[in-house]
Amino acid sequence: MKHITLILIAMLFSVTAIAQKTFDTDFTQTKLMKISGKTTDKAGHLTFDGNDQLSMIYTQPQGDYFKIEGNMVKINMDGKKVELDAEKVKMVGLQRSTLLNCLAGNWEQAAADNNAELTVKEEKGMKTVSIVANGKVPKGGYKSVELTYRLSDNALVKMMLEEAIGIINTYEIH
């Protein structure tokens, strides 16, 4: 009985460690506009507390940022600043929760929120988590999300977010 209890406790700790993973790292971003084929490259620093605090401070271009502070989403992109309450603006709320759930390892919730299928594959030392919408994407939701982790240390190395409007943001995590 003690052996089973120890196994259950170890499993609980490993799930908790994944779900509460924090990030403090640099990233590069490539934004693709599918309609025009135009790409934009950016870079910056990502900080995530494992819950509801996310900060992406851009170094290229300097001064841009994307922040989640509780329910507030604060954006400064290309000199355009906006602050939105995710509880009042439903599509922002969906994007906020999807991003936070994906980073925290709550993939099932992110899939459910986006009316999507979840698949997890492991090969060549990597784990790929794919969340792909079933039919119509909820307003503000993602058509697909793909997260790539290095199996050796379970570190997130790549995140791709495809919006229903044809914008694909790919983040390489360093």
pLDDT at 7 over 50: no
Each residue's pLDDT tens digit, 123-157? 999 999 999 999 888 888 899 999 999 999 888 99
Do 143 and 133 form a contact (C-beta atoms < 8 A)? yes
Phi-psi region of 154 (alpha: psi -120 to 50; beta: other; left: phi over 0): left
Q: Is the peptide bond before 138 cis (omega within 30 degrees of 0)?
A: no
**Phi, psi at 86, each rounded to 5°:** -65, -20
Do 140 and 115 form a contact (C-beta atoms < 8 A)? no
Identify any residues that bridge with 59 across adjacent strands, giving them in sequence order. 62
Each residue's pLDDT tens digit, 13-69? 333 334 447 889 999 999 999 999 999 999 999 999 988 999 999 999 999 999 999
Query: Which candidate, 134, 168, 131, 166, places its Cα nearest to that of 148?
Result: 131
Residues 6+ apart with CB under 8 A from 42: 28, 29, 30, 31, 58, 60, 61, 64
pLDDT at 1 over 50: no
Residues 6+ apart with CB under 8 A from 96: 68, 71, 73, 86
For the chain, which domains are there? 21-173 (2.50.20.10)
pLDDT at 102 over 70: yes
